Structure 1
Amino acid sequence: MRKSPSSSVQAAKQVLADRLREIREEAGHSAKSLGEVVGWHPTKVSKLEHTVTSPSAEDIRVWCEACNVPEQAEDLVASARSVESAYVEWRRMERTGMRRVQEAAVPLYERTELFRIYEPALMPGLLQTPEYARALMRVIIDFSRIPDDLDEAVAARIARQRVLREGNHRFVVVLEESVLRTAFGDREIMAGQLGHVLSVMSMPNVALGIIPASSFREAMWPVNGFWLFDSERLTTELPSAQVTVTQPRELEVYLRTFEMLRGMAVFGEQARVLVLRALEVFTAPSD
């Protein structure tokens, strides 16, 4: 089974560490002799090469200088920064509440022409009603024990939805059918949310597909939800962190994954039927 996004970040760290080790070996240094040359504690080289600790920009420059390849330093520094920014803990992002997280994504949304979104359990933020967003964010705030800025966070999330109506943006959204029945708030909120989905489906720049729960998984299993922004960046969310992928090799895997999932989905009238069936669940009279 494919590695989790956090495992992919660890693998990227190991690639950088392996390159530092190769540079050391090509220069004829042992770990001990390199440490002596640069004045480091004897265990520091080993810790860097085994990703026990991550190298700072200065560590990389010193390493390359000691191994007579100073011209390689800046490329490696850039790689290190990319790795470190790929995995961002929610605790750091949400330390002042959720509003800032919502607003931080606006520039990326505005410059993206093609959104490809897959969600297995939750309605994507761009399709949420204010009531659904409020119910979901209340759960997140309570679970994560972050500052409660619910009103501001909901307003910021809904404001981001202007990209659906403004600018040159296209959206291909693939949902598992379970998204339609994973309930937040109450029956009225879910009915309003599904009614909103029916409205969004009619927009000319939105292609919304649903993978029926009864589908036999012959092509692709359900995976973590992910968002592809054009073909340049991907984000996926874990309970503890947001992971960003920009490496072309990994992006290609996700692009292939998305196409497999899209091929399993139904669109148009067939998708509307699935939404209407779910809507009946929340609008039927209670016993």
Structure 2
Amino acid sequence: MYICDVYKSSLRFHCQRFSNNSNPEFTDEEVLTVYLFCGYCQRYFGIKEIHTFAKEYLSSWFPKLPSYQVFNTRLNMLAEAFKTLVGTMMQSFKPEDCAPLISIVDSMPIVTCKGKNRHGKVATEISSKGYCSTKNMYYYGMKLHMVGLRRNGTIPFPEMIALSSAAENDLTVFKNECVPYLNGKTVFADKIYSDFSFFNENCTIKVLTPHKEIKGEPEVIRQREKAARDLFSQAVSKVRQPIESFFNWLNEKTEIQRASKVRATKGLLVHTFGKLAIALLTYVNF
């Protein structure tokens, strides 16, 4: 019922057809519902697994279910609809206890293939080769960047989500995609987001990161400030740690990082935003 309501109000405008087949027997609402139901309730994340389960157990609900090939094609046509759905759910499901002026930012890899000498050939328009320092891993794929609203005692709630190729720098993406919408906020981040000259001069947000060594700083000053800097770094890390827990939870619930079976750009977008939609459904009942 929720998917039908959202589809009528907004999603249909992102997957309109202007052909004689503009009203297929198996509707877009049914495609979305099958995908989300099997992911959320049954924890099936492969499209083949989803189609097989629906065919064997949900035939009374979806008597017009097409073949696997057609179902897969229909899903890829809904890439923009999934993107819009995630944005709608982020607005609709926002918890009341979110801190309005405190956010946390970080990124996680979405891997189509990994290995130092591997060269991916999937979704080359939006993917590239990158390195994940947290996992000490070279990979080919994308990065998912998230700004989360802080919540006391639990994982943050997604406020903003952006995708980039694996080669793009986290700080660059944050400046271009997120900073313009975070005026007046305090943002806790990792060391890679340290660019205080930019944040102090060009915007009204306050970014706090663990202390980053200053090149050329005298050893006397470094030793004198060490205790205070360590305490500050520990405090910042304690506040931003829940976003790492969120990424671990997200991957555990949806296997979003494993995109090795994706074979097209639209398929990679469906994989990413579809898993995010499943995660948000899970978050509501977390």
Structures share fold, TM-score greater than 0.5: no
Q: TM-score range by the shorter chain?
A: under 0.3
* Higher fraction of helix: 1
Larger Rg: 1
TM-score (structure 2 length as normaliser): 0.25
